[in-house]
Amino acid sequence: MVPLLMVFIFFYSCKQKDSTPPQVFLNGDNPMTDTLGTVFTDPGATADDNFDGAGITNKIEVTSNIDYITGTPRTKTAGVYTITYSVSDKANNSTSKTRTVNIINSSAKYATTYLFDKTGDDNLFPNFVDLQTTIDYDSRVNNRIYLTKLCNKPGLRIYIDILNDSLIDIPDQYRILTESTVEKLYRVRGEGGQSRIIDNIFFTFVVKYQVEKYDESTISDYDYEADGRYWRSTGNYDVSTELYERL
């Protein structure tokens, strides 16, 4: 009994003396930045303790709120996230350290206020000079931005994809808008290779596209199917240039 009592007293006294929490050291940068849609690799952390030593690193528990694509380590949504590294020593002293992770859309730099001009067929949308609009970036698709008011028409919000430092693409897409209580469909199609970033310092670019307007129709008399409905074209208009210059 005496030896067991001595062992108990020894460990109890050691535990009482150890009131210093471990230290956690982050590997890599804090904060750190990564690109939307890419594989994120956590640089990790190490720990040390005045009694337990560096071996306590193996006891680090990691919690994170980074939004990943299901089943992959690819980041899903742009935003500011955290990774927290927590560890406790044998005396139950605990500590934690948090890393901030910025997941960014590579084209976020284009999200700002612009003046824009339109030239081309003005039967559907009149030409104009120096109207103000904003450009947003997509939080889910990297290198995708939104023109929030195409042709100065509220609600006609379309996306464009930044292909490289100079070339952009306007995929075939549509928006259904209500005009005088009647729904109209606007279809937008870019002209391949014609839309470009013409200044990467001052963020100036030009887009060229076609706009088609549709009324709702029947399956026996339609030109385009979209949103589970049938539409008949009422006009096809070329926009030779729409120029955006950052304010």
Query: Residue-wise over 136-153: b if at least 16 C-beta within 10 A, else e?
Result: bbbeeebbbbbbebbbbe
Q: State yes or no: pLDDT of 8 exceeds 80.
A: no
The predicted pLDDT at position 61 comes to: 97
User: Strand pairing of 32-35 and 94-104?
Assistant: parallel
- Average pLDDT in the chain: 92
Q: Is 132 exposed, middle or buried (0-12, 13-18, 19+ CB in 10 A)?
A: exposed
Rounded to whole angstroms, the Cα distance separating 235 from 247 reads 33
Structure tokens at 189: 């199609």
Write the CATH number of the domain with boundaries 20-104: 2.60.40.10
Q: Place 124 in a pLDDT band, splitting at 50, 70 and 90.
A: confident
Mean pLDDT, residues 138-166: 95
The predicted pLDDT at position 5 comes to: 47
Rounded to whole angstroms, the Cα distance separating 208 from 193 reads 9
Task: Write out pLDDT tens, residues 61-77.
Answer: 999 999 999 999 999 99
| Long-range Cβ contact pairs of 145-150 (< 8 A, separation 24 or more) | 145/107, 145/110, 145/111, 147/207, 147/244, 150/188, 150/211, 150/242
Structure tokens at 195: 């839309």
The predicted pLDDT at position 240 comes to: 86
The CA angle 39-42-43, to the nearest 5 degrees, is: 130
The predicted pLDDT at position 18 comes to: 86
